[in-house]
Structure 1
Amino acid sequence: MFIIKRLFPIIIVLALIVFLTLQSPEDTIRLSYGMQNIFLALFPNASGRWTIDMHWFRTLLHLPLYFLLGGIVSFAVPKFWKAAGICFAVALADETLKIFLPTREFGATDLAFDAIGFLLGIGIVTLCRVIKKKCLKNR
Structure 2
Amino acid sequence: MAKKIISIIPAVLVIFLIAAFTLQPGEASSALTMRFVRVVAGINNRLNHTQADWSISFFLVRKFAHSFEYLAMGGAAVCCCLVWVRRHPYLVAVVFCAVVSICDQLSKIAVPGREFDITDIPFDVMGYLIGIMAFYIIRLEWKRHRGA
TM range (shorter): 0.7 to 0.9
* Residues 49-68 of structure 1: pairs in structure 2 closer than 5 A: 51-68=55-72
TM-score (norm 2): 0.81
SS at match of 1:61: helix
Higher relative contact order (CA closer than 8 Å, sequence separation 6+): 2
Deviation at 1:99, TM superposition (A): 2.5
Q: Is the 8 A contact 1:84 1:118 kept in 2?
A: yes
Which position in structure 2 is the counterpart of 1:25?
26
> Structure 1 stretches (4+) deviating beyond 3 angstroms?
41-46, 48-51
**Contact conserved, 1:40 with 1:51, CA < 8 A, in 2?**
no
Contact kept, 8 Å, 2:24 with 2:111, in 1: the verdict is no
Percent same amino acid at aligned positions? Answer: 27
1:76 and 2:77 correspond: no
Matches for 1:24-43 after TM superposition, within 5 Å: 24-43=25-44
TM-score, normalised relative to structure 1 = 0.85
Structure 1 residues 92-101 or 34-43, which shifts more? 34-43
Does structure 2 retain, via aligned residues, the 8 Å contact 1:6–1:75? yes
Query: Which residue in 1 is equivalent to 2:86?
Result: none
Structure with larger Rg: 2
Answer whether contact 2:101 2:124 (CA < 8 A) is retained: yes
Q: CA deviation at 1:6?
A: 1.2
The answer on whether the counterparts of 1:87 and 1:118 sit within 8 Å (CA) in structure 2 is: yes
Structure 1 residues without counterparts, runs of 5 or longer: none
The yes-or-no answer on 1:108 pairing with 2:109 is no
Higher mean displacement: 93-102 or 79-88: 93-102
- After superposition, the CA RMSD in angstroms is 2.3
In the alignment of these two chains, the number of paired residues is: 137
What stretches of structure 2 of length at least 5 have no aligned partner? Answer: 83-88
Q: 8 Å contact 1:49–1:56 — kept in the other structure?
A: no
CA contact (8 A) 2:74 2:93 kept: yes
**What is the aligned partner in structure 1 of residue 140 from structure 2?**
130
Alpha-carbon displacement from aligned partner over 1:60-89 (angstroms, at most 9, x marks no partner)? 211111111111111121321111111111
Residue 107 and residue 50 in structure 1: after superposition, are their counterparts in 2 closer, same or farther (change >3 A)? farther
Give the 3-state SS of the residue equivalent to 2:12 in structure 1: helix
